[in-house]
Chains A and B, each alone.
Chain A
Amino acid sequence: GAGVSQSPSNKVTEKGKDVELRCDPISGHTALYWYRQSLGQGLEFLIYFQGNSAPDKSGLPSDRFSAERTGGSVSTLTIQRTQQEDSAVYLCASSLTTGTQYEQYFGPGTRLTVT
Chain B
Amino acid sequence: SQKIEQNSEALNIQEGKTATLTCNYTNYSPAYLQWYRQDPGRGPVFLLLIRENEKEKRKERLKVTFDTTLKQSLFHITASQPADSATYLCAPDRGSTLGRLYFGRGTQLTVWP
**Interface residues, chain A, with chain B CB atoms under 8 Å away:** 4, 31, 33, 35, 40-43, 45, 48, 50, 56, 91, 93, 98-101, 103-109
Q: Given the known inter-chain contacts A42-B103, A43-B103, A48-B99, please indicate yes or no for A101 contacting B51, CB distance below 8 A.
A: yes
Give the B interface residue count (CB, 8 A).
Answer: 26
Residues of A within 8 A of B51 (CB): 101
Residue of A nearest to B4 (CB): A42
Residue B100 CB within 8 A of the other chain: yes
Q: Given the known inter-chain contacts A91-B43, A109-B43, please indicate yes or no for A101 contacting B32, CB distance below 8 A.
A: yes
Q: Given the known inter-chain contacts A41-B105, A42-B89, A43-B89, please indicate yes or no for A100 contacting B44, CB distance below 8 A.
A: no
Residue of A nearest to B34 (CB): A103
Expressed in whole angstroms, the Cα–Cα distance for A106 and B34 within the complex equals 14
Identify which of B99, B104, B106 contacts A31 (C-beta below 8 A). B99
Expressed in whole angstroms, the Cα–Cα distance for A4 and B45 within the complex equals 12
Residue B98 CB within 8 A of the other chain: yes
Residues of A within 8 A of B42 (CB): 108-109
Residues of A within 8 A of B102 (CB): 45
Expressed in whole angstroms, the Cα–Cα distance for A109 and B43 within the complex equals 6
Residue-wise, chain B 53-77 has the 8 Å CB interface mask toward A (1 for contact) of: 0000000000000000000000000
Contact A45 B100 (CB under 8 A): yes
Residue B101 CB within 8 A of the other chain: yes
A-B contact pairs, 30 of them (CB 8 A): A4-B43, A33-B99, A41-B105, A42-B105, A42-B106, A43-B89, A43-B103, A45-B100, A45-B101, A45-B103, A48-B99, A50-B99, A56-B100, A98-B98, A98-B99, A99-B98, A100-B30, A100-B31, A100-B93, A100-B100, A103-B34, A104-B44, A104-B46, A104-B101, A106-B43, A106-B45, A107-B43, A108-B42, A109-B41, A109-B43
Residues of A within 8 A of B104 (CB): 42
15 further A-B contacts with Cβ under 8 Å, apart from A100-B31, A105-B46, are A35-B103, A40-B105, A42-B4, A45-B100, A50-B99, A56-B100, A91-B43, A93-B43, A98-B98, A99-B99, A100-B30, A103-B46, A103-B49, A107-B43, A108-B43
Residues of B within 8 A of A103 (CB): 34, 46, 49
